[in-house]
Amino acid sequence: MNPWELTLCLSSLACSSASQLFIKGAVLQSEWRRKIIWLGLAGCLLLVSVGLAVITLKTLPLSKLLPFAAASHLLVPFGSSYFFGDRLYPHFWVGVFLIISGILCVLA
């Protein structure tokens, strides 16, 4: 994996994770205009994420891109905990261990 492909993968991951956090933020908004703005931002970030993933798939096999997508399942709860005060329960850490183990198996 060259630096350009790594940058595309990480950018896609960041946009995907941010999109999911914007969706959660929209749910927590009380004013409907703010909800629409947050959901619009989430939709735009999701489109950018998919576009970056498609560009990445032109040169990188899917088996190398999927571990980055799995990392989103780690970043979103951490971001939700940081930005929205959500608690991370013990069973979350079991899932973190399983996801990291799976990523390491695929990359090995």
Tokens of 23: 């969706």
pTM of the model: 0.85
- For residue range 27-50, list pLDDT tens digits in order: 998 899 999 999 999 999 999 999
pLDDT above 70 as % of the chain: 98
pLDDT in tens, the chain (108 residues): 789 988 999 999 999 999 999 999 999 988 999 999 999 999 999 999 999 999 999 988 888 888 888 888 889 999 999 999 999 999 989 988 988 888 788 776
Q: What pLDDT does residue 103 have?
A: 76
Domain boundaries, the chain: 3-107
Instruction: Please say whether the dihedral angle defined by the alpha carbons of residues 104, 62, 80 and 3, taken in this order, is positive or negative.
Output: positive
Rg (CA), the chain: 15
C-alpha 99/C-alpha 93 separation (Å) is 10
Q: What pLDDT does residue 77 have?
A: 92
